[in-house]
Structure 1
Amino acid sequence: MLGATTTAADRRKRFRELLGGSDIVQFPGAINPINAQIIEQTGFEGVYISGGAFSASLGLPDIGLTTLSEVADHGRAISRVTNLPTFIDADTGWGEAMNVARTVQEFEDAGIAGMHLEDQVNPKRCGHLDGKEVVPTSEMVKRISAAAKGRRDDNFVICARTDSRAGEGLDAAIERAKAYVDAGADMIFPEAMRDLGEFEAFATSVDVPILANMTEFGKSELFTTEQLAGAGVRLVIYPVTTLRIAMGAIKRGLETIRSTGTQADLVDGMQTRADLYETIDYAAYSDFDSDVFNFSQEGHQ
């Protein structure tokens, strides 16, 4: 009731344990707090908080228009309700080195377990679009170093994302990843890989976990966890999947209501009231109220 029963420190420790284990883990993207609760109740190991999904939910493109305070508040709302570690998209860190350090601390204060920084220039673009530009390696090294220096909880995970594969080639992207690890990155996020062999090349070149982004309609094939694990990937995220599922269903449902004049044909596919109440633990709130408001005014004036 009222949120997570574990501490943020415990969830960060758990994130480290998952990354240090032998099994691949899955972090679906949550577009809001109840989505995170469903992810936890479905049995996943963690929750991803996508910058692209958050931008879209505000009716904005994913080009760096959201602010640190907006994203931190969004992350806090999601992290508050789940006992799973939450992993958030920090874009390019919202500024120079000192801003990146502050970003880490804002996310720590929001209860988040880890974040990823990317090496794109501003304004950034979606990682699976053409025309991306990256900063020099030295600039990204400064971002990672600042993030590591700003961290107060050693278990807070700092992941370096590189978008350099498209413009500089695989070998150059791997060399960047090595420099990012040397600067303090705990994990590498190679964006827009073209096949399993490219993931494997990263995994064998650095001694930190590798993340795979399984986003729909992108550059990468939608590989299974078994395939990705075989290529050495430790964490897989599904950043916009739940948003796309929800928006597709909403659009189809609204079209049905508009054309038929009723939602009657849609009810079988809806979350029921009972399931909603179970998801948000409605009964616990009622029990809490009953325990607190158990006095009587009889005999009092």
Structure 2
Amino acid sequence: MAQDHIETLRQLLAQKRGVLMPGAANALTARIIADLGFEALYLTGAGLTNMHLGLPDLGFVDLSQLVDYTMAIRNVVSLPLVVDADTGFGNALNVGRTITMLERAGASAIQIEDQVAPKRCGHFDGQELIPSAEMIGKVKAAVDARRDGVLIVARTDACAAEGFEAAIDRMHGYIEAGADIAFVEAPKTAEQLRKIPQLLPVPQMLNMVVGGKTPITDRTIAADMGFNLVLYANVALQGAIKGMQTALTELRDHGALDEASGLTATFAERQRLVDKPRFDALSSRYAIAQGA
């Protein structure tokens, strides 16, 4: 598999302009993100758990499921893809296998975090962390396991569990172990946001959770602070939930729904987004001639 998407991500990071990175929970969402002109996307573990299992973000997805969805997304978009691998599905040895599998599936960068398994969403309460030394071992295993240059994102949830200074201290250790991108989850103030890029020497990812603990910050301001990627991991999912509730409520209350309502995408738009015209052309190309 060509690895151009990894080099493209490296170039985006080097530009230091707060690239907006929406999250996708499935391949259709990934297609929409690409179609709208975004430059990178994120396979969200929380969104995957919510959308496909109907469960909260409490560590219910396994590696095989994550690999399958990474492959599905990579099959339909060429954008840089950052994959949320939670705690890496075990110890350092397991992390090595996780990196190998996800790199082969088409990840451009793979994120691992320092929570105790099973993890919980960084904007929930009650996070527990593994020792910093254990996470450093996981980062080293991730770096050693990669073969095609996939980037390693180290996330710490220490802001919630141990405080901001502890989060910075932990992240320094992860960077020394080889992490390419730093992800300090759930800082609570604008002052903390400003400090993170000043204190850490590698590219930074900022997570904007609609309704979460971190103050929503415009991407231009985030870029001026020094953040390279501005993640909206589940804005598409939350928008889809609102859209489904609105359309289905209309159907329930009125007994019918058509395109004139404006509450759904058109049938034609749906087919365009899944690339049906290309498959129609291929069907015509490979059709058996009459009488053959």
Deviation at 1:8, TM superposition (A): 4.3
Give the drift of 1:277: 2.4
Is the 1:200–1:233 contact (alpha carbons within 8 Å) kept by the matching residues of 2? no
Distance 1:41 1:264, change over 3 A: closer
SS at match of 1:26: strand
Task: Report Cα offsets for 1:236-279 as digits up to 9, x if no partner.
Answer: 11111111111111122222211211124873131112222222
Q: In the TM superposition, what whole-angstrom CA distance separates every residue of 1:133-181 from its partner, at most 9, and x where no partner exists?
A: 1111101101100100111112x11000000012222111111111000
Q: Structure 1: where are the runs of 5+ without partners?
A: 1-6
Aligned partner of 2:207 in structure 1 is: 213
Residues 176-212 of structure 1: CA deviation (Å, up to 9, x unaligned): 1110000010011010011232122121112111101
Q: Partners in 2 of 1:199 and 1:223 — Cα distance?
A: 9
Unaligned segments of structure 2, at least 5 residues: none
Equivalent position of 1:178 in the other structure: 172
1:257 aligns with 2:251: yes
Identity of aligned residues (%): 37
3-state SS of paired residue (2:230) = strand
CA distance in 2, matches of 1:266, 1:29: 30
**Structure 1 residue 240 corresponds to structure 2 residue 234:** yes
C-alpha distance in 1 between matches for 2:147 and 2:119: 28
Cα distance in 2 between the residues matched to 1:253 and 1:278: 21
Give the one of 78, 83, 87 matched to 2:78: 83
Aligned to 2:104: 109
| 1:267 equivalenced with 2:261 (yes/no) | yes
Separation of aligned partners in 1, 2:122 and 2:147: 29
Query: Is residue 101 of structure 2 the alignment partner of residue 100 of structure 1?
Result: no
Alpha-carbon separation, structure 1, partners of 2:207 and 2:141 = 25
Give the structure 2 partner of residue 3 of structure 1: none
SS of 2:3 mapped into structure 1: helix
Aligned-partner Cα distance in 1 for 2:180–2:14: 11
Instruction: State the TM-score, normalized to the length of structure 2.
Output: 0.95
Q: Which SS does the other structure have where 1:242 is aligned?
A: helix
Counterpart position of 1:229: 223
Matches of 1:99 and 1:189 in 2, distance apart? 21
**RMSD value over aligned CA atoms?**
1.5
Note the alpha carbon deviations across 1:87-122, whole angstroms, 9 max, x for none: 111000001111100000110111111111110111
Amino acid across the alignment from 2:8: R
1:8 touches 1:111 (CA, 8 Å); kept in 2? Answer: no
Residue 36 of structure 1: aligned partner: 30
> 1:72 and 1:104 mapped to 2: Cα distance?
10
1:160 aligns with 2:154: yes
8 Å Cα contact 1:196/1:228 also seen in 2? no
Q: What's the secondary structure of 1:80's corresponding residue? A: helix
Q: In structure 2, what is the Cα distance between the partners aligned to 1:70 and 1:31?
A: 12
The TM-score normalised by the length of structure 1 is 0.93
Query: Is 1:144 matched with 2:144?
Result: no
Which residue type is aligned with residue 124 of structure 2? L
**Equivalents in 2 of 1:274, 1:266: separation in Å?**
14
Q: Letter of the aligned partner of 1:60 in structure 2?
A: L
